[in-house]
Chains A and B, each alone.
Chain A
Amino acid sequence: MTALDPRVPSGPLETRWTRHRDELALMGPTRRRFHSVLVIGAGLAGASAAATLSELGYRVRCLVFHDSPRRAHSVAAQGGINAAKNYQNDGDSVGRLFHETLEGGDFRSRESSVYRLAELSARIIDHAVAQGVPFAREYGGHLASRSFGGTLVSRTFYARGQTGQQLLLGAYGALAKEEAAGGVTVLPRREMLDLIVVDGRARGVIARDLVTGALETHLADAVVLATGGYANAYYLSTNAKASNATAIWRAHRRGAAFANPGFVQFHPTCLPAAGEHQAKTTLMSESLRNDGRLWVPARMGDTRRPQDIPEAERDYFLERRYPRFGNLVPRDLGSRACKAMLEDGRGVGPGEKAVYLDLTEAAGRLGMDVLRERYGNLFELYRHITGDDPLRGAMRIAPAAHYTMGGLWVDYDLMSNLPGLFVIGEANFSDHGANRLGASALMQGLADGYFILPYTLAGYLAGAPLVAVDADGPEARGALAQVGARLERLLAIGGRRTAGDFHRALGGLLWNHCGLERSREGLEKAIDEVAALREAFWKDLALPGGATELNQELERADRVADFLELGELMCRDALAREESCGCHFRMEHQTSDGEALRDDARFAHVAAWMPGEQGRGPERLIEPLHFASLALHERSYK
Chain B
Amino acid sequence: MNVTLRIWRQRNPREAGGFLRYTLGDVRPEMTLLEVLDRLNEELAAAGEPPVAFDSDCREGICGACGIVVDGRPHGPLPGTTTCLLPMRAFRDDATITLEPFRTGAFPLVRDLVVDRRALDRVMQAGGYISVRAGSAPEANTIPVGRESTERALDAAECIGCGACVAACPNGSASLFVGAKLTHLGLLPQGQPERARRGRSMVAAADGEGFGGCSLHGECEAVCPKGIGLGVIARMNRDHLHAALGGQNP
Contacts and interface: CB of A to CB of B under 8 A. Distances in A.
B157 A134 contact: yes
Interface in A520-567: 542-545, 549-553
Interface string A127-146: 11111101111111111000
Interface string B25-40: 0001011101110110
Contacts of B64: 68, 70-71, 75
B116 interface: yes
Nearest to B187: A134
Interface of B: 11-12, 28, 30-32, 34-36, 38-39, 41-42, 44-46, 48-51, 53, 55-65, 80-81, 85, 87, 89, 110-111, 114, 116-118, 120-121, 124-126, 128-141, 143-147, 150-151, 153-154, 157-158, 160-161, 184-185, 188, 190-191
B53 to A, nearest CB: 6
Given A277-B35, A550-B111, A162 B134 contact: no
B118 A188 contact: yes
A544 B53 CA distance: 12
A258 to B, nearest CB: 25
A87 interface: yes
A67 B144 contact: no
Given A85-B140, A277-B39, A544-B48, A67 B129 contact: no
A548 B141 CA distance: 53
B128 to A, nearest CB: 6
A438 B11 CA distance: 44
A123 B147 contact: no
A549 B118 CA distance: 19
The CB with the most chain A CB atoms within 10 A, among B42, B62, B128, is that of B62
A174 to B, nearest CB: 6
A126 B62 contact: no
Q: What does DSSP make chain B's interface, helix, strand, loop or mixed?
A: loop
Given A66-B57, A165-B62, A176-B129, A159 B50 contact: no
Nearest to A173: B129
Interface in A255-286: 274-275, 277-280, 282-283
Interface in A71-112: 71-73, 75-76, 85, 87
B145 A137 contact: yes
20 contacts: A66-B65, A67-B55, A67-B116, A68-B161, A123-B137, A129-B143, A132-B184, A138-B147, A172-B124, A173-B124, A174-B132, A179-B121, A180-B126, A277-B39, A450-B134, A542-B48, A544-B49, A550-B12, A550-B111, A553-B41
A633 interface: no
B150 A500 contact: no
Contact of B117 (A55, A67, A131, A162): A67
Given A127-B132, A130-B136, A177-B131, A67 B158 contact: no
Interface residues of A, number: 88
Given A126-B140, A131-B130, A279-B35, A73 B110 contact: no
A544 B50 contact: yes
A118 interface: no
A434 interface: no
B117 to A, nearest CB: 6
Contacts of B36: 277
A71 B146 contact: no
Nearest to A55: B133
Interface string A377-420: 00011001111000000000000000000000000000000000
B45 A498 contact: yes
B125 A549 contact: no
Contact of A75 (B63, B111, B117, B150): B63
Contacts of B48: 542, 544
A174 B46 CA distance: 43
A242 interface: yes
A48 interface: yes
Given A68-B161, A130-B132, A142-B144, A553 B184 contact: no
A497 interface: yes
Contacts of A242: 57
B156 to A, nearest CB: 9
Given A179-B121, A279-B32, A544-B44, 13 more contacts: A67-B117, A67-B118, A68-B118, A129-B140, A141-B145, A143-B141, A162-B158, A188-B118, A275-B28, A277-B39, A549-B111, A550-B114, A553-B41
A51 B130 CA distance: 13
A186 B117 CA distance: 14
A397 to B, nearest CB: 15
A282 B59 contact: yes
Contacts of B87: 384-385, 387
A450 B129 CA distance: 16
A255 B44 CA distance: 38
Contact of A132 (B117, B126, B130): B130
